[in-house]
Amino acid sequence: MHVPFCDSKCRYCDFNSWELKDSTILVTVVDALIKEAYERANGLQPQTVFIGGGTPSLLPPDLLEKLLNGLHEATGFRESSLETTLEANPESFCYKTAQAALGGGVTRASIGVQSLRSEVLRAYDRAHTPNGARDSFLFARKAGFQRINLDLIYSFPGQSLLEWFEDLAEVISWKPEHLSCYELAFEPGTPLSQAKETGNFPDKNPDAALRLFDETRTLCESSGYSAYEVSNFAKAGEECIHNLAGWRSLDCVGIGAGAVSWQAGIRRKNPANPDDWLESVLTCNTTAQIERPNPKTRLFDCFLMGLRLCDEGVSVSRALRQTGLNPKEVWSKELQEFFSENLLIEVGDCIRTTRKGLRLLDSILARLLPEESRGRSRPEKV
């Protein structure tokens, strides 16, 4: 479920998020989210729920309660969901919001910390301070959250290993259950990319970024967080069940502006602009894009997502069930090359990366990318 508004737009962000100019629209957005949940997920009994954005914690506590009550009445998630996550940002995640979320059935908070350095947060145009991030973690714990993820970004240009480790060590000392550590990406069209292209923001050093990637894994693993995905680290049993489903290419129903659904091989994308999405829901006039990717593209997507799971990789039998194609037949030559180059290995039913292959994941995927898929939009990020 996507809440598409943020306090302000971060300079690196290419998510479907829009600056909230008038908070009265949130009432209409919540009504429309509930209406869409009734229409598209009635009685679904979902195994997981992820309320993301944007910044869902922008919803005032009473509206968040209304949304969660409506979602439960439509889907029954409070009885069925193994994990219900709310994304939150420090500038809007207060103790009352945390309480409303917990009371409404949310079981996991995911907080966007990104950095504990004022100059970095300012360079990103983040709407909070380092102390705001520290407070939001405390609010979540005090309210009673037992499962908390913290999002961080490393590889700020010029960032030394020591500076990054100071941030990372501090958040580890808070004892969250889960950490997501992303390398800063210059996504096309973002203000940060434009600033870089015009010489107004420095580029990253790729060798330094690779070292930070390696050392991040080492520090997280030595602190008791298993590196179960390229950018995600969890205490035992604290992996994000919802995102695991995404990396395994399982079906989901997406609700809200720009939300993507996958059901029985059909991809559906809601209108990205909140006004367009609101109009389509409130007038019952669907303008979603519907696409049925061909089996080879779907198989590639299974590898694109599944190879991110470091210890698990892609289940060959599941990929066959999902696409009708056996990757060992479709890519017999390529896979043999990857095995002999020690980039991929086969363990039981699964094909996964080696440590070497994980660092070269982009080039592995580039060699598997079907001709007809070049230039097509990527599957949504998880």
> Rule CB under 6 A: which residues touch ligand SF4?
6, 9-10, 13, 15, 17, 53-55, 89, 112
Nearer CB in complex with ligand SF4: 53/70: 53
Q: How far is the CB of 10 from ligand SF4 (least distance, A)?
A: 3
- Least Å distance, CB 8 to ligand SF4, is 7
Question: What are φ and ψ of residue 266, in 5° steps?
Answer: -105, 130
Cβ nearer to ligand SF4, comparing 19 with 311: 19
Question: Cβ 87 to ligand SF4, closest distance in Å?
Answer: 8
- Which is nearer to ligand SF4, 149 or 323 (by Cβ)? 149
The rounded distance, in Å, linking the Cα atoms of 160 and 171 is: 17
- Find out whether 184 and 153 touch, Cβ atoms under 8 Å: yes
CB closer to ligand SF4 out of 54 and 357: 54
Q: How far is the CB of 16 from ligand SF4 (least distance, A)?
A: 8
Considering the complex, state which of residue 17 and residue 226 has its C-beta at the smaller distance from ligand SF4: 17
Nearer to ligand SF4, 11 or 35 (CB): 11
Q: Of 195 and 325, which CB lies nearer to ligand SF4 in the complex structure?
A: 195
Closest separation in Å from C-beta 121 to ligand SF4: 11
Cβ closest to ligand SF4, residue 54 vs residue 293: 54
CB of 227 to ligand SF4, least distance (A): 23
Residue given tokens 């479907």 in the structure block: 16
Least distance CB 118 / ligand SF4 (angstroms)? 16
Minimum separation from the CB atom of position 22 to ligand SF4 (A): 17
